[in-house]
Amino acid sequence: MTDPSLKKIVIVGGGTAGWMTAAPLARLFERAAEGGRPEVVLIESPDIGTIGVGEATLPPIRAYNRTLGLDGADFVRKTQGSFKLGIEFRDWGSVGNRFFHGFGDFGPPIDGRSPWQHWLRLQRKVAGLPTYEDWSMSTVMSRRNRFTPPADGPPSAANAYSFAYHFDAGLYAAYLRDYSVQRGTQRVEGTIVDVELRPEDGFVAAVKLKDGRRIEGDLFIDCSGFRALLIEGAMKSPFEDWSALLPCNSALAVPSERLSPPSPLTPYTTSTAKAAGWQWRIPLQHRTGNGHVYCSGFISDDEAAATLLAGLDSKALDTPRQLRFTTGRRKAGWVKNVVAIGLSGGFLEPLESTSIQLIMDGVGRLIQFMPDRHCKPHLVAEFNRLMGQQYESTRDFIALHYKLTDRRDSELWRYCAAMPVSDNLAHQIELFRTTGRVAVLDRDSFQEPSWVSLFMGLGLRPEAYDPFVDHVDEATLVHHFARLRQAIHETAAGMPDHGDYITRHVKAL
Ligand code: FAD
């Protein structure tokens, strides 16, 4: 019987997805015994560029970096990065509304229940109670532009926060490329013009390059971006279009000058809702990233560009770059010996910085379900089942931002107020509205505090709360919250300014 082990893995594409796939494989196989180590080849085209946007992330990127053994400060320095404690939302829900989706929790449980449930109970009875955001450490730090990583030690309200990064996507891919190549990944420059299938089972046998080279492999990872060269071109895996649930289909991106002190380097992304979409602002060390995501049915590209430029807080460094997309996912992201990771596998607009997260989820699952050369159907089906759930729960979280709106001032917002939502999202909204509870699975990208921030920030107030919290003495609770609030504000006040933290702990390396 022939040896079924993988001898060669071919990654097609050298954008963020390609190099984020190559790096952990390089790390994994670096430790494998000689002979049990498949060759890893990454092909990137000198003629076809990368998408080049993708500058904001979610906290699990830190675990990804740790798996690679990367040093956090070195990473931020080399990618001109900054720290991200969450997203500030402006004009979402209603014009003038402002709220924060901070990373982390509202503090450790009180008597086994989230402080948020206790707050729900108290705010019905205690006049002048501060808002729930006052017990979110990441929110309080963001409002003051403070940053330092959470302190180790027993869980407390003052360390119940998390953080992610903003970075230059081009520098990040280059950083991971150097990392992977140093650990044995072979980089091939060339443009694929043909894909050869095995007649007996339809598996990909090889890809052919424009210059005549032929690259064989056992497993092909399609990181070719929106082109979806293998998963769609060769495997014909259909795309499930989610435009009805998430209507934006275009973006314009432009860098602008970094604001100089005394204007702060904000430790958060800003998302401002507009008439036909929303605008992002991502602070980096060397520039600010900006973009306008919009629905082309409700605004012309010229008007969208004018909106973007009018919303900048510093001088544009270029002319806006146009991007088009269709929201949705590949029905099967893994077919035969082709696995799609990155934009080839699906796209959800960048409102909650979920694309890089979905890349990490895809790579993690691929490593978990690493096949032999047969790519057994049940293994493939399990990968597809789990990734399908991940995409759908993420889609629903993003759709919530649009659906829960009181805005009726433009066609987009009128559409959103009336648009259909999935059964799961309809259930989430009703569950929260009637009971103050949230339904999440451990593996979902967004956990209870994130859903609570969004529901509350968008103005949905629950009719009830967890009855278990009534067991706690009210006066003790009021006293406890007052102490917590003071501790949170004092801790934040003692932290360095975000820009100063980077100067001292990142640039000074
Ligand atoms: P690409 O970057 O398009 O790379 C494709 C690669 O395939 C390239 O190297 C290309 O050379 C290669 N290739 C293609 N065809 C061939 C061929 N024939 N032969 C050889 N090579 C080929 N994500 C986030 O997490 N956070 C964000 O803030 C964020 N913002 C975004 C904003 C916008 C407007 C958009 C559209 C996306 C955003 N994303 C964001 C998503 C993020 O940009 C992508 O998930 C990420 O860059 C991965 O892209 P990719 O590597 O799949 O594709």
Segment 133-145, tens digit of pLDDT: 888 999 999 999 9
Residue 236 confidence class, pLDDT cut points 50, 70, 90? very high
CA dist., res. 192 & res. 46, Å (int): 11
Residue nearest to atom 4 of ligand 1 (CA): 15
Q: For ligand 1, say whether the CB of 120 is within 6 Å of any of its atoms.
A: no
What is the structure's pLDDT at 509? Answer: 57
What is the structure's pLDDT at 261? Answer: 80
Contacts of 419 (CB under 8 A, 6+ apart): 244, 245, 247, 402, 403
Q: Biggest alpha carbon distance in the chain? A: 78
Q: Which of ligand 1's atoms lies nearest the C-alpha of 289?
A: 28
CA dist., res. 148 & res. 96, Å (int): 30
Instruction: Please give the average per-residue pLDDT across 142-156, as a whole number.
Output: 93
What is the structure's pLDDT at 441? Answer: 85
DSSP secondary structure of 117-162 = HHHHHHHTTSTTPPPGGGG-HHHHHHHTTB--PPPPSS--GGG-B-
Predicted ipTM of the assembly: 0.99
Q: Which of ligand 1's atoms lies nearest the C-alpha of 342?
A: 52
DSSP H or E stretch at residue 27: helix 16-30
CA dist., res. 89 & res. 99, Å (int): 5
Domains along the sequence of the chain with CATH: 1-98+163-241+252-376 (3.50.50.60), 104-161+422-493 (no CATH)
Q: For ligand 1, say whether the CB of 209 is within 6 Å of any of its atoms.
A: no
Q: For ligand 1, say whether the CB of 251 is within 6 Å of any of its atoms.
A: yes
> Probe ligand 1: pick from 16, 187, 290, 329, max atoms within 8 Å of CB?
16
Instruction: Please give the average per-residue pLDDT across 2-10, as a whole number.
Output: 93
Q: For ligand 1, say whether the CB of 225 is within 6 Å of any of its atoms.
A: yes
Is the CB of residue 25 less than 8 Å from the CB of residue 40? yes
Whole-number Å distance, alpha carbon 202 to ligand 1 midpoint, is 27
Q: For ligand 1, say whether the CB of 170 is within 6 Å of any of its atoms.
A: no
- Which range, 18-32, 210-224, 495-509, is most confident? 210-224
pLDDT in tens, 456-472: 999 999 999 999 999 99
DSSP secondary structure of 58-77 = -THHHHHHHHHT--HHHHHH
Q: For ligand 1, say whether the CB of 266 is within 6 Å of any of its atoms.
A: no
Q: For ligand 1, say whether the CB of 346 is within 6 Å of any of its atoms.
A: no
Q: Which of ligand 1's atoms lies nearest the C-alpha of 344?
A: 52
- Kindly report the pTM of this predicted structure: 0.96
CA dist., res. 87 & res. 102, Å (int): 6
Indicate if the pLDDT at residue 317 is higher than 80.
yes
Name the average pLDDT for the chain: 95
What is the structure's pLDDT at 129? Answer: 87
What is the structure's pLDDT at 209? Answer: 98
pLDDT in tens, 29-51: 987 777 778 999 999 999 999 99
3-state secondary structure of 90: strand
Residue 299 confidence class, pLDDT cut points 50, 70, 90? very high
